C-alpha cells in the first residue's frame, strides 16, 4: 500500500512504542461532583496521557473525537497552531496509533481538520486505521457569512471518520438521526399526532394475504394486480380497529397504512452537515462567551450540537467517549449531558482554567449549548488527573519515586478496572469479585524480614489480612512452595514483571 514519507518518519513510527508508561495522579481539589462517575479530565501531553490509559482502557472506547491544531500558521491565545509541516505529521502519527489501540471493536474515530493538513491526514489515517475502514469525509459548514478578503472563501471543515472495523460492520452499531416530520400531517385529527401513509400492499403473491377488503363507501376491493395486501386478514382487522388504516378519496380509495414519526427507524446520516442543523463557529463563540463571561474565552471551540450529532451517531448512553485534544472541553461537556462516560486530555493551562470550570458548570446544570434539547438537569462528576512519574525506569525496574499508595492504586485498577477507594496503608488492598488483592512493596510491613516484608514467606502470610477465598499477592518473590500456594488459593505475581503497565 502506498504510504506518505517525511523526513523523520522512521523515528516517528517508534514514538508511541517508546513513550513511557506514566502514572495518573488524581488532583482532588480540581475534581468535582460524584468521584465514582469514572469520568476523567487529564492535564498533560496526550502522547503520555494516551499511553497511561492503555493498561486500563485498551479496546474499550466507543467514540474518539479529536480536533487537533489544524496547522493554520496562527498563534491562538491558548495554543500555537504553527508547526513545521513535518513536525505536524510527526506529532499526529504516534497519537493516532495509540488512539487506534483504545478503540473498541464497534468503535469509530472522528477527526476535525481543514485543507492545510487534511489530505495528508487522510493518507496517514488510511495507513494507521486501514484504508478499508474509512467510512466518510463529513463536510461541516462552519461558516455562512461571506469571506470578502479571500480568493475563495472557506466555508467548511472536514471530519474524517474511520471505524475500528469496516463500514459494513460499523453500520450495525451506529445510530440513525431522528426522523423529521416533513411530509407528515393529521387530516383526521388522530390523537397520536401527525402521520403519513404508504400503500397497504406488497409485491408478490402470499396466499393468506389475498382476501377482500370493503371500503367505508361499501366498495369491495381485491389486492392490486401482481400484489397482495400488506398483512394477513386478522392483522388487517386489528389495524382497522386501531384506526391505522386510511382510505383516501373520502373512503372510496385503496387502503393505506398510517405511519407515525416514532415508528420510523430514523434517517441515515449524510456527509453534508449544514450550519442550520449542527451550528457554526458563530454559534460556538456565543456558547463559549456565555460560559466564560468575565474570563478570556477560548478561541477555537466547536459547537455543542456538532459534537452531539457525532456522539449520537457513534454511541449509546453509558458508552465511553475520548477526546485527546480537548481545548475548551466541548466533547466532555456534551458527553456528560448525553449520559456517556468520557475521558478528556488537554495539555494547556486551560485544562484548569476552562475545561474543569466548564464541567463544574455542567454538573451544576448549566443551560447553554445542547442543555435544553436534552433536558439537562445537572449531576454526575469527574476526576482531574495529572501525569506523574514513569512507572518503570530504562532498565525495566520500578521507578524509585513510586510510593506504595501509587503502585497500590495502579495495581488495583489494572486488576479490577475500578479506582482504589481505601487508604492504601497496608498490604491488603481489598476484595473484588470474591478475590482478595495484596501488595508487598516498599517495605510496607516495615520490619526486618527479607526485603522489609516484600518477600512472601509463611510469616508474612500469617500477618496478612486473612481471607479464606482466592488471593492475588504481588511481591518481589515468594518462598512458599507451589503446593502451599495451591492450598492457600494464592496466585503470586512478581514485581515488576507481572505489572500490566510494562
Ligand X SMILES: C[S@@+](CC[C@H](N)C(=O)[O-])C[C@H]1O[C@@H](n2cnc3c(N)ncnc32)[C@H](O)[C@@H]1O
Binding mask 298-337 for ligand X (x = CB under 6 A): x-xxx----------------------x-xx-x-------
Judged by beta carbon, residue 223 or residue 327, the one nearer ligand X is 327
Assess 118 for contact with ligand X (CB under 6 A).
no
CA atoms within 13 A on the CB side of 6: 20
Q: What is the DSSP string of 169-185?
A: HHHTTPPPBPPP-TT-B
* Location of C-alpha cell 499508595: 405
For the bound state, the minimum distance from the C-beta of residue 115 to ligand X, rounded and expressed in Å, comes to: 15
For the bound state, the minimum distance from the C-beta of residue 76 to ligand X, rounded and expressed in Å, comes to: 8
Largest CA distance in the chain: 101
Q: Identify the bridge partners of residue 392 per DSSP, sorted by sequence position.
A: 398
The C-alpha cell that represents 437 in the structure block: 488483592
Answer for which of 56, 63, 69, 337 binds ligand X (CB under 6 A) is: 69
Stretch that binds ligand X, among 66-74, 388-396, 442-450, 466-474 (CB under 6 A): 66-74
Quote the CA–CA distance of 492 and 167 in Å, as a whole number.
44
Query: Do residues 159 and 67 make contact, with C-beta atoms less than 8 angstroms apart?
Result: no
Assess 133 for contact with ligand X (CB under 6 A).
no
Q: Name the phi and psi angles at 200, rounded to 5.
A: -90, 60
Assess 453 for contact with ligand X (CB under 6 A).
no
Please give the residues from 134 up to 163 whose contact with ligand X meets the rule CB under 6 A. none
Stretch that binds ligand X, among 64-72, 145-153, 154-162, 455-463 (CB under 6 A): 64-72
For the bound state, the minimum distance from the C-beta of residue 356 to ligand X, rounded and expressed in Å, comes to: 13
The C-alpha cell that represents 91 in the structure block: 506529532
Judged by beta carbon, residue 61 or residue 445, the one nearer ligand X is 61
Show Cβ contacts of residue 325 under 8 Å, excluding neighbours closer than 6 positions: 46, 66, 67, 68, 69, 345, 346
Assess 79 for contact with ligand X (CB under 6 A).
yes
Assess 359 for contact with ligand X (CB under 6 A).
no
Judged by beta carbon, residue 330 or residue 442, the one nearer ligand X is 330
Please, what's the b/e burial string for 130-144 (b: 16 or more CB within 10 A of its CB; e: otherwise)? Answer: beebbbbebbbbbbe
Quote the CA–CA distance of 322 and 111 in Å, as a whole number.
12
For the bound state, the minimum distance from the C-beta of residue 42 to ligand X, rounded and expressed in Å, comes to: 9
Judged by beta carbon, residue 83 or residue 221, the one nearer ligand X is 83
For the bound state, the minimum distance from the C-beta of residue 68 to ligand X, rounded and expressed in Å, comes to: 6
Assess 110 for contact with ligand X (CB under 6 A).
no
Assess 78 for contact with ligand X (CB under 6 A).
yes
Quote the CA–CA distance of 17 and 364 in Å, as a whole number.
40
Show Cβ contacts of residue 125 under 8 Å, excluding neighbours closer than 6 positions: 96, 111, 134, 160, 162
- The residue with its CB nearest to ligand X is 327
In what helix (H) or strand (E) does residue 344 lie, and over which residues does it extend? Answer: strand 341-346
Judged by beta carbon, residue 298 or residue 428, the one nearer ligand X is 298
Answer for which of 16, 31, 46, 108 binds ligand X (CB under 6 A) is: 46
For the bound state, the minimum distance from the C-beta of residue 112 to ligand X, rounded and expressed in Å, comes to: 7
Answer for which of 257, 347, 429, 460 binds ligand X (CB under 6 A) is: 347
DSSP class of residue 277 equals H
Answer for which of 179, 348, 380, 450 binds ligand X (CB under 6 A) is: 348
Judged by beta carbon, residue 200 or residue 325, the one nearer ligand X is 325
Query: Do residues 81 and 71 make contact, with C-beta atoms less than 8 angstroms apart?
Result: yes
The C-alpha cell that represents 100 in the structure block: 487506534
Judged by beta carbon, residue 87 or residue 192, the one nearer ligand X is 87
Answer for which of 117, 346, 366, 415 binds ligand X (CB under 6 A) is: 346
Give the CA radius of gyration of the chain. 29
Assess 345 for contact with ligand X (CB under 6 A).
yes
C-alpha distances in Å from residue 61, one per residue of 87, 101, 126, 134, 316: 27, 9, 20, 18, 12
Judged by beta carbon, residue 179 or residue 348, the one nearer ligand X is 348
Judged by beta carbon, residue 290 or residue 476, the one nearer ligand X is 290
Rounded to a whole number of angstroms, the distance between the first and last alpha carbons of the chain is: 32
Assess 358 for contact with ligand X (CB under 6 A).
no
For the bound state, the minimum distance from the C-beta of residue 280 to ligand X, rounded and expressed in Å, comes to: 13
The C-alpha cell that represents 139 in the structure block: 463536510
Contact residues toward ligand X (CB under 6 A) are 45-46, 67-69, 78-79, 298, 300-302, 325, 327-328, 330, 345-348
Amino acid at each position: 500500500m502506498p504510504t506518505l514519507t517525511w523526513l523523520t518518519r522512521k523515528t516517528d513510527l517508534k514514538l508511541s512504542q517508546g513513550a513511557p508508561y506514566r502514572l495518573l495522579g488524581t488532583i482532588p481539589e480540581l475534581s468535582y461532583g460524584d468521584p465514582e462517575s469514572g469520568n476523567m479530565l487529564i492535564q498533560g501531553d496526550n502522547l503520555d496521557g494516551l499511553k497511561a490509559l492503555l493498561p486500563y482502557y485498551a479496546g474499550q472506547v466507543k467514540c474518539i473525537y479529536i480536533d487537533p491544531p489544524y496547522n493554520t500558521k496562527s498563534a491562538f491565545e491558548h495554543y500555537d497552531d504553527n508547526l513545521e509541516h513535518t513536525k505536524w505529521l510527526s506529532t499526529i502519527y504516534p497519537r493516532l496509533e495509540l488512539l487506534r489501540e483504545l478503540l473498541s471493536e464497534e468503535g469509530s474515530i472522528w477527526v476535525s481538520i481543514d485543507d492545510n493538513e487534511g489530505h495528508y491526514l487522510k493518507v496517514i489515517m488510511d495507513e494507521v486505521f486501514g484504508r478499508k475502514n474509512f467510512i466518510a469525509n463529513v463536510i461541516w459548514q462552519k461558516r455562512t457569512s461571506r469571506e470578502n478578503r479571500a480568493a475563495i472563501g472557506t466555508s467548511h471543515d472536514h471530519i474524517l471518520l474511520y471505524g475500528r472495523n469496516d463500514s459494513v460492520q460499523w453500520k450495525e452499531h451506529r445510530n440513525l438521526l431522528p426522523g423529521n416530520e416533513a411530509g407528515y400531517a393529521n387530516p383526521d385529527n388522530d390523537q397520536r399526532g401527525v402521520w403519513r401513509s404508504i400503500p397497504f400492499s406488497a409485491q408478490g403473491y402470499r396466499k393468506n394475504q389475498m382476501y377482500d377488503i370493503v371500503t367505508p363507501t361499501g366498495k369491495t376491493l381485491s389486492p392490486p394486480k401482481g400484489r397482495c395486501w400488506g398483512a394477513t386478514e386478522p392483522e388487517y382487522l386489528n389495524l382497522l380497529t386501531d384506526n391505522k388504516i386510511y382510505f383516501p378519496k373520502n373512503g372510496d380509495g385503496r387502503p393505506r397504512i398510517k405511519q407515525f414519526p416514532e415508528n420510523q427507524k430514523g434517517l441515515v446520516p449524510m456527509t453534508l452537515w449544514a450550519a442550520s442543523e449542527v451550528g457554526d463557529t458563530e454559534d460556538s463563540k456565543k456558547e463559549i462567551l456565555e460560559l466564560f463571561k468575565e474570563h478570556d474565552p477560548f478561541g477555537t471551540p466547536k459547537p455543542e450540537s456538532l459534537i452531539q450529532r457525532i456522539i449520537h451517531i457513534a454511541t449509546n448512553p453509558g458508552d465511553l467517549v475520548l477526546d485527546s485534544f480537548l481545548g475548551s472541553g466541548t466533547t466532555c461537556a456534551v458527553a456528560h449531558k448525553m449520559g456517556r462516560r468520557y475521558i478528556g486530555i488537554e495539555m494547556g493551562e486551560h485544562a484548569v482554567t476552562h475545561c474543569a470550570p466548564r464541567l463544574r458548570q455542567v454538573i451544576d446544570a448549566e443551560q447553554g449549548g445542547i442543555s435544553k434539547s436534552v433536558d439537562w438537569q445537572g449531576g454526575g462528576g469527574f476526576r482531574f488527573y495529572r501525569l506523574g512519574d514513569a512507572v518503570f525506569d530504562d532498565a525495566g525496574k520500578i521507578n524509585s519515586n513510586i510510593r506504595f499508595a501509587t503502585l497500590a492504586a495502579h495495581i488495583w485498577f489494572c486488576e479490577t478496572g475500578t479506582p482504589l477507594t481505601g487508604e492504601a496503608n497496608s498490604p491488603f488492598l481489598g476484595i473484588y469479585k470474591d478475590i482478595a488483592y495484596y501488595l508487598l512493596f516498599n517495605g510496607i510491613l516495615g520490619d526486618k524480614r527479607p526485603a522489609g516484608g516484600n518477600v512472601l514467606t509463611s510469616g508474612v502470610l500469617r500477618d496478612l489480612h486473612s481471607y479464606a477465598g482466592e488471593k492475588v499477592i504481588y511481591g518481589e518473590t515468594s518462598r512458599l512452595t507451589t503446593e502451599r500456594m495451591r492450598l492457600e488459593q494464592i496466585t503470586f505475581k512478581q514485581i515488576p514483571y507481572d505489572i500490566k503497565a510494562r
